[in-house]
Structure 1
Amino acid sequence: MTFQQALTHAATGIEARLMAAVATLPASAVHDAMAHALTGGKRLRGFLVLESAALHGVAEARAMQAAAAIEALHAYSLVHDDLPAMDDDDLRRGRPTVHRQWDEATAILAGDALQTLAFALLAEEATHPDPTVRITLVASLAQASGAAGMVLGQAQDIAAESAGRPLTLEEITALQAGKTGALIGWAAQAGAVMGGADPSRLGRYAAALGLAFQIADDILDVAGDADLAGKRLRKDAGRHKATFVSLLGLEGARARAAELVAEAEAALAPYGADAERLRQAARFVIARDM
């Protein structure tokens, strides 16, 4: 398969697992909103789980559990990010955001339920027969997504908007390491945890990939096509928000993203040809149009 075919195949499998999990829940508006939030998307984080798991000899059915978990967690973060108190967006993945399709209360509850679904999936025996491995996955995802990871980055981002001064390049890099990089880092290392290997071997890859991903997002916000992206663009400039593009310039940001991709690829050298899909994933993050 080509990389795009592999990504599409992974996305199809992940979505099927997520919808099967949601189908077991009682019928309600929250149930419907969860399914809405889980529909579509690149599934890059889930793809990283599957590929890192394959690299360490983990069965795809087990890896799919963790892949679905990170995508449920990511979906929760998007539902809450889109709320009026956060980014106040009307469109996500080319469809109305959850609070627009339903209401704010339903969106909050659907996000809450997606978050807990992520941990429920990881806790299932189908994820791994060893409960120690399962709790390690649960604990590390809690760390990556909570007040020391993604939520910290989100809080820093909100604080920066009200601080009255633009962030420095160093500050933005640190902020995005939490807001965007933490979940990508968990995804890239989850397969090693499941395979009983040292996850830090993929840490350098994940750190470079996560930062490249965010720089690419900043570039898309300036130069992307809203129809292809499926969401509102040009937001950062309207808020006078410091970004990698505002600090480095468009070409400087592109050059920095390319450097980070090279760093990510170099970090995979110990894995040889077996890690080619992960190298392709790094190239994809700065070539994507959505």
Structure 2
Amino acid sequence: MAEEESWTEEPNVLLLLHTEEFVSMIYNYKQVPLQEVQSSTDGQKETLRSFVARVMEKIPGKTLALAVVELEKYLRSHKSQSQKRPRQAVPNGSQKEGQRKRKRQKEKEASGPEVSRLDVEEALVDLQLHTGIQVRCLENWKDLSDFATMFTKSVAEAPFKRERENTGFSFYLENEWCRGVKVDRSGKGLLQAWQRQIQQFHRVSPDMASAIVSAYPSPWLLEQAYRRCFSEQEQQNMLADIPVRRGDGVTATSRRIGPELSRRIFLQMTSHNPDLYLDVTN
């Protein structure tokens, strides 16, 4: 007997806003005082925050994501129109000037409200700060299709990811670092795997490991360098003077690998004793 399928509704909702509607709410945000933006009442024009509040009242407990398409195209078209208007406004009598003003007003009303990119950014920041909701601005309808596909896939995979994270072992961290590095047949990934191996040592940062790997890009090259040394003391201190740089610009700092880590890496690379304790300080 076939098992019955069970459906679980995920809390994610993707809502598409028409460009004109979105721009209108941005324009209203510019006109409404900040203390009145949050709620929309009768006679008050709707803003992004009031729109989101109204939607969340209808779908409580959901996680809302907004998307708008061809916003950049809208802004570009209105910018080009505004640049053409001063050229047309050549005074040739008060009557003709009045006709031109009325014509421009009608064109403006027909094409929708005019907002700048700065107005859009301010309204989006205000929305995110007060509601935690972001708006995805997409260039065209194909981008919307790709985004909807990605959004749907992410929602569909969410239960499996939650189940995978529930390993039952508090000490087992299932993340990218613990899963290791993928190495293909061409050898891509070997350098990163070598760096990860060095990072296994106690008190070794990624910057320190990267400095060692830059000097000796493979374990074989490091082993060959050890063989060229004339004494064991020289081998133990071979990596000590490798510089480790952190940060960029005026905040950049520099230090050395140091003799302690140099000694530990030497012992790890050359010792045949599986019970050797490398970190004698702890």
Scaled by the length of structure 1, the TM-score of the pair is: 0.21
Higher strand fraction: Structure 1 or Structure 2?
2
For the pair shown, which has the larger CA radius of gyration, 1 or 2? Answer: 2
Higher helix fraction: Structure 1 or Structure 2?
1
- By relative contact order (CA 8 Å, sep 6+), the higher-ranking structure is 1
Scaled by the length of structure 2, the TM-score of the pair is: 0.22
